[in-house]
């Protein structure tokens, strides 16, 4: 493992040379400046991590929606501590492979940060496969949120969400989904059940692009898809958005779309139409929203010197707030919805309160699929 890290550092240094040689049309942009020792002291680290290596173990593949934010934040984060960031991708078994690698790294005496899915970890903890994201590990915060959209293909007969509900009275609406029991499946099934949409599912799709193509080819009626990385499909009109999870998406005219949660959201309107208990509906919508909004979290496994945790949390927050990081994040074209440890914890607790309901709904839907 140490060799892997050295190899990565070696390759990174070659790329750095290439980067220095590269002509840039954005030459007017100032080079990222080192924050210096002041930032480190402000975080209360007292130079304890200066000159050390911080290992970021990413529980998904290179280039993924977890990997890219981590690789952008990591160097800024390490600079503030006078340390060095190295990255390893350890995907598999719904985050468990990555978590096991972090534990092994801790045993080797390294300072290690695990980048993983908050919703997946919560589900994993409920099944006893992963530690609890709040009590079983040291949560540092959220490095990227998730913006979910319901969409249909450009040639679909559904112009609006109301068309979907109208059709659902005549025949089941068909959704394309990932494998059952995962966090994405749980979210989609939970949304359907909360909306009283007696949908049916086509499972087995491996990645978001496959699901997008299923909608474009009109093999399925509706897909629920994370916006990150799929923006061009909406920009080009290949996918037509029908609903956002909780609004706040300015691009592609999505602000005008109905939102799932909230007092004026689709859930409440449907609850009124179906005669459901409004408080129950609101609580379910809030839980699903919170579950989805946990996003990509960063956590330190138990075993790392606990006195370092406040320092790491403060450094992460300082990194989020720094103009250098914000500028790099903006350059990626992907908004970095970063949150402090406390705010992320609050989201997790909100989701946890209704997790059993979500799990029950998802398990029931999965059981129907296997019949």
Site residues for other proteins, 115-144, by CB under 8 A, read none
Round to the nearest angstrom and report the end-to-end CA distance of the chain.
43
The Cα–Cα gap between 371 and 367 comes to 7
Chain positions 145 to 184 lying near other proteins, rule: CB under 8 A, are 174, 179-182
Q: How many CB atoms lie within 10 A of CB 364?
A: 11
Question: Site for other proteins (CB under 8 A): which residue of 46, 63, 253, 306?
Answer: 63
Q: Token pair for residue 36?
A: 């210096």
Q: Using N-to-C axis directions, what is the helix angle for 118-126 and 183-195, rounded to 10°? A: 90
Query: Least separation, in Å, of the C-beta of 113 and other proteins?
Result: 16
Sign of CA dihedral 364, 280, 151, 115: negative
Question: Site for other proteins (CB under 8 A): which residue of 34, 42, 97, 353?
Answer: 97
Query: Could you please report the per-residue DSSP string of 63-94?
Result: TSTTHHHHHHHHHHHHHHHT-EEEEEE---GG
Q: Token pair for residue 318?
A: 């300082």
Query: Least separation, in Å, of the C-beta of 93 and other proteins?
Result: 5
Question: Site for other proteins (CB under 8 A): which residue of 126, 132, 136, 213?
Answer: 213
Binding of residue 67 to other proteins (CB under 8 A): yes
Residue whose tokens read 């493992």? 1
Chain positions 218 to 237 lying near other proteins, rule: CB under 8 A, are 218-220, 229-233, 235-236
For residues 16 and 50, which CB has a smaller minimum distance to other proteins in the complex?
A: 16
Question: Site for other proteins (CB under 8 A): which residue of 92, 157, 248, 253?
Answer: 92
For residues 173 and 299, which CB has a smaller minimum distance to other proteins in the complex?
A: 173
Binding of residue 38 to other proteins (CB under 8 A): no
CA count, 13 A, side-chain hemisphere, 89: 12
For residues 223 and 366, which CB has a smaller minimum distance to other proteins in the complex?
A: 366
Query: Least separation, in Å, of the C-beta of 128 and other proteins?
Result: 13
Look up residue 179 and give its DSSP letter. S
Question: Site for other proteins (CB under 8 A): which residue of 210, 306, 342, 343?
Answer: 210
């Amino acid at each position: 493992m140490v060799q892997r890290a050295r190899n990565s550092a070696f390759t990174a240094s070659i790329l750095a040379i290439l980067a220095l040689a590269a002509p840039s049309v954005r030459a007017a942009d100032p080079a990222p400046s080192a924050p210096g020792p002041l930032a480190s002291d402000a975080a209360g680290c007292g130079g304890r991590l200066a000159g050390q290596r911080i290992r970021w173990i990413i529980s998904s593949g290179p280039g993924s929606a977890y990997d890219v934010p981590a690789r952008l934040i990591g160097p800024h984060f390490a600079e503030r501590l006078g340390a060095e960031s190295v990255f390893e991708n350890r995907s598999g078994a719904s985050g468990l492979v990555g978590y096991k690698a972090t534990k092994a790294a801790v045993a080797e005496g390294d300072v290690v940060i695990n980048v993983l899915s908050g919703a997946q970890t919560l589900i994993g903890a409920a099944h006893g496969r992963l530690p609890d994201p709040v009590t079983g590990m040291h949560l540092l915060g959220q490095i990227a949120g998730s913006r979910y959209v319901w969409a249909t293909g450009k040639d679909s007969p559904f112009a609006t969400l109301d068309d979907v509900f109208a059709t659902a009275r005549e025949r089941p609406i068909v959704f394309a989904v990932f494998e059952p029991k995962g966090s994405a499946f749980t979210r989609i099934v939970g949304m359907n059940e909360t909306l009283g949409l007696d949908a049916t599912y086509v499972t087995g799709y491996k990645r978001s692009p496959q699901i997008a193509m299923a909608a474009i080819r009109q093999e399925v009626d509706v897909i629920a898809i994370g916006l990150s990385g799929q923006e061009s499909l909406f920009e080009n009109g290949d996918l037509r958005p029908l609903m956002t999870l909780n609004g706040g998406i300015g691009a592609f005219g999505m602000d005008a779309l109905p939102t799932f949660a909230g007092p004026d959201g689709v859930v409440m309107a449907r609850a009124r139409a179906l005669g459901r208990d409004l408080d129950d509906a609101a609580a379910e919508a809030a839980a699903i929203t919170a579950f989805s909004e946990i996003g990509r979290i960063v956590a330190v496994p138990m075993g790392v010197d606990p006195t370092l945790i406040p320092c790491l949390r403060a450094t992460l927050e300082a990194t989020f707030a720094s103009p250098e990081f914000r500028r790099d994040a903006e350059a990626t074209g992907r908004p970095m919805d970063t949150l402090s440890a406390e705010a992320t914890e609050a989201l997790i607790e909100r989701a946890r309160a209704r997790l059993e309901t979500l799990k029950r709904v998802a398990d029931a839907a999965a059981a129907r699929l296997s019949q």
